[in-house]
Structure 1
Amino acid sequence: MTFSDLGLSPSIVQSITDKGYTTPTAIQAKGIPAVLSGQDVMAAAQTGTGKTAAFTLPLIEQLLKEDRPRANQALALVLAPTRELALQIAENVEAYSQGTRLRSAVVYGGVKINPQMIQLRKGVDILIATPGRLLDLYSQNAVKFNQLRTLVLDEADRMLDMGFIHDIKRIIKVLPKTRQNLLFSATFSDPIRELAKGLIVSPIEISVTPKNAASKTVTQFAYAVDKPQKTRLLSHLIRTNKWQQVLVFCRTKHGANRLVTQLERDKITGAAIHGNKSQSARVKALNGFKTGEVNVLVATDIVARGLDIAELPYVVNYDLPNIYEDYVHRIGRTGRAGSDGQAISFVTADDAADLYGIERFIGALIPRAEEDGFLPQHPVPEKALDTRSVKPKKAKKPKTHSDQVQGQSPSNKAKQGQSKHKPRGNGGSSAKSHVKAAIDNPTNAKPKRRRFSAPKPKTS
């Protein structure tokens, strides 16, 4: 199947080809015809599967046949939870609509509002916005929706987690009753379906990946390490393996800032990106990371889903997430568009409960690894994979839209005397057999611990 087979015009297909894409992904193959049909669409797709193009391409196709927007009007509205994601969507829209008459704009908080108001005066075909800034612009009559024909909620599950539900409801109330609604989410959770009840009408429902699945192109490892040694281990892995581009996740913004300072003492160039950073600082950090001026980008979950770095080779969970769904989203930053990637997690004895919860959530054991010179004094207790269904932890509704400091998981008594082990190849055939054994017989099966060296990831 090609993009031409999906009902897109030659000019749009050419813009896709110019970006180096020839074959649609699963979500694009199913989503593009669904959106072009004019019906409401609910789509669940794992991060990194090309879902942004699944709605931007048919949106552009539809709007080329519409009348031009009047002053301050928007024909299509795309809501995104973070500035980074809004900017990423805007880049896609600009690239795919190049050479057409369509105008687009992106608006978000953290910057002056007047330039955004000026940009909207002539009207735009596609408006990409974060909810809070959009409401500010609407309250000042800078944007109107009389001509609106399509509403897109991207990363709907993340918007609910971040406490945007009331803003979304306020926005929906001022939109025309007759419109096409497109809802894209990583999962069809109960809260998402509840939101859809008041928004979506007889939708085409699309789901292209198994629930909670991690990408098959990502090789995963979990390094047992004592908490005080995590920074030394990260520096060691970066220097020893000569990693040039590493995305590192911390739980808190203060932890991210502290880690960057510690890495720079080790002569490793890093930058932090989180909710307390200004928009200009975020853009500078991300651009530096993409160009190679910054080797390590340290991020918090609140900005994770907006990051899109082509062929990113390594992701490190410096702190394990205690919302299990976030683990899948984090490691989905690598292994995108069919390329291979590696996701490495640092696990202390205190993280054991979250490690087991993540493994239950993704339905697989994460191969263990140890690095000589960094063996923990407090090993992580081993436990067979529990295959009972698990409900992911829900993020608490934040008081603000900035990063929330999340507490550490409860301390677990560590079992002593664990033997050393390291994974073989892509987790090793033995690791795969342990996963199968645990799934087939969760009561008795335990992953055997072996002494072997963790593979050195390929240099970028």
Structure 2
Amino acid sequence: MNFESLGLAPELVRAMADVGYTTPTPIQAEAIPLALAGHDLMGGAQTGTGKTAAFALPVLHRLAKAGPMRGPRKPRALVLTPTRELAVQVNDSLRSYGKHLRMNTATVYGGVGMQPQIEALRRGVDVLVACPGRLLDHLQQRSADLSQIEVLVLDEADRMLDMGFLPAIKRVLSHLPKARQTMLFSATFEDSIKKLALELLKDPRQVQVTPVNATAASVSHVVHPVDTSRKRDLLIDILSRRHQDQILVFGRTKHGCNRLAEQIEKSGIPAVAIHGNKSQAQRLKALRDFKSGEARVLVATDVAARGLDIPLLPLVINFDLPMVAEDYVHRIGRTGRAGASGEAVSLVAPDEGGLLRAIQRLLKADIAMKEVEGYVPSTGIRMGNDNASRGRPSGQRPPRRDGAAPRGRGPRGGGDRHAHAGPKGHGPRGGGERRQRAAD
């Protein structure tokens, strides 16, 4: 099977060949024909399976087939994403796939000035990629008009719900025509996703090509037991031995990631950090430096790394295990993409046994444990039952899915400013797209 056999426009087939893609991935092979036929769609796919092309190609095909709009160019397709980084990645893909078509795309997200976005919308846009909060700002200022939307895509819908964007999404939906095609993509189909799908989609077709909470078969997993006080030394030792590889390192907190990147830099290894306290310009520069090879190590939090598209990443290291077991799958999804081999290394302290056990339960498999000479911990990893079923070390409060403090009054950001309305509908409680105050 090739892209031409899916019925795509020749310009799109040519563009895919230009970027080296000739054979559709499973999600593309199943989803694209259904989308081209005009069906609403529920697409289940993990990061790295080619899901962006699975919705981007049908969207571009539909708009190209319809021809240019008469009069002012208002957006005809809308893609909603949970984070700024994912919005940028999706927009880059749309431009790449549609480079042989006369199609304008634009992104709308917080953390940057509105005026350039307003000017782009005034010039005319065919496909708009947006985070819900900033899009609501534009709708309130009447700088965005969604009355001509033909296709709506919700990308990473599970993460949008986790981050509390449902009220904002519903407000955006009130500005869209009821007669439209809607596609929803999610890594999981939990009850909340199914409920949202029932509200938004009409007689949807469902495509699930990746088992829920599965990691790529091409990824090898290993745990290195190590005392907390020796983690940094072991990490730098591993990075030094893998001097030719680009490596993504996950930390648990913003400040911890900053400190870790600085320590890696001091060891002579170029490293950058990406997290919610960074400005949008800083985040994009860090990502550019990493992709170009100027920085060999990227240290990131879970929320900041969501949506990163880094091809052929050979190694992901968990400096800290995630507090929520499902986030392990999202982290590891950065490597072993499109059938390539990858490695997932976790540095696990003795008191992180509960977190490790929760991850192994989720994967329904044990992870190989390998001690590293010179870094053998003073005690073994405690894999007992204390809090293990909840996946956290003993004595810690349950983590919230949005990463905020357990007793907070709502998520404190993540990717978008309007994730939560304030009292009596007077707007958000702060954080989010512009300030990113979450503990990500």
Task: Give TM-score, length-normalised by structure 1.
Answer: 0.84
AA at the equivalent of 1:399: R
Contact 2:276 2:438 in 1 (8 A): no
Cα distance between partner residues in 2 of 1:241 and 1:260: 16
1:144 aligns with 2:150: no
Deviation at 1:102, TM superposition (A): 1.1
1:238 aligns with 2:239: yes
Count of residues in correspondence between the two structures: 402
1:352 aligns with 2:353: yes
Cα distance between partner residues in 2 of 1:296 and 1:272: 8
Deviation at 1:399, TM superposition (A): 2.7
1:17 aligns with 2:23: no
* Identical residues among aligned pairs (%): 49
Q: Quote the residue 2:33 is aligned against.
A: 33
AA at the equivalent of 2:269: I
Q: Quote the residue 2:230 is aligned against.
A: 229
Alignment of 1:342-381 (within 5 A): 342-381=343-382
Q: Show CA shifts across 1:251-281 (max 9, x none).
A: 1111100101111221121111011111111
Q: Quote the residue 1:264 is aligned against.
A: 265
Deviation at 1:340, TM superposition (A): 0.8
Q: Quote the residue 1:163 is aligned against.
A: 164
1:4 aligns with 2:41: no
Cα distance between partner residues in 2 of 1:405 and 1:349: 24
Instruction: Out of 234-243 and 137-146, give the one that drifted further.
Output: 234-243
Cα distance between partner residues in 2 of 1:360 and 1:300: 23
Cα distance between partner residues in 2 of 1:261 and 1:116: 34
Q: Quote the residue 2:401 is aligned against.
A: 395
AA at the equivalent of 1:230: K
Aligned pair in 2 of structure 1 residues 154, 215: CA closer, same or farther (>3 Å)?
same
Aligned pair in 2 of structure 1 residues 23, 72: CA closer, same or farther (>3 Å)?
closer
Q: Quote the residue 2:303 is aligned against.
A: 302
1:206 aligns with 2:207: yes
Cα distance between partner residues in 2 of 1:19 and 1:389: 43
Q: Quote the residue 2:439 is aligned against.
A: 405
Deviation at 1:405, TM superposition (A): 2.9
Deviation at 1:305, TM superposition (A): 2.2
Deviation at 1:398, TM superposition (A): 1.0
2:344 match: secondary structure: strand
Cα distance between partner residues in 2 of 1:118 and 1:292: 33
1:59 match: secondary structure: helix
Q: Quote the residue 1:313 is aligned against.
A: 314
Alignment of 1:42-57 (within 5 A): 42-57=42-57
Q: Show CA shifts across 1:14-47 (max 9, x none).
A: 1001100111000000010111111110111111
Cα distance between partner residues in 2 of 1:170 and 1:3: 36
Cα distance between partner residues in 1 of 2:46 and 2:111: 29
Contact 2:316 2:334 in 1 (8 A): yes
Q: Quote the residue 2:421 is aligned against.
A: none
Unmatched 5+ residue regions in structure 1? 407-460
Task: Give TM-score, length-normalised by structure 2.
Answer: 0.88
AA at the equivalent of 1:191: S
Q: Quote the residue 1:65 is aligned against.
A: 65
Unmatched 5+ residue regions in structure 2? 392-397, 403-409, 414-431
Q: RCO higher in 1 or 2 (8 Å CA, sep ≥ 6)?
A: 2
Q: Quote the residue 2:120 is aligned against.
A: 119
Q: Quote the residue 2:91 is aligned against.
A: 90
Q: Quote the residue 1:218 is aligned against.
A: 219
Contact 1:252 1:404 in 2 (8 A): no
Deviation at 1:306, TM superposition (A): 1.6
Report the RMSD for the aligned CA atoms in angstroms: 1.9
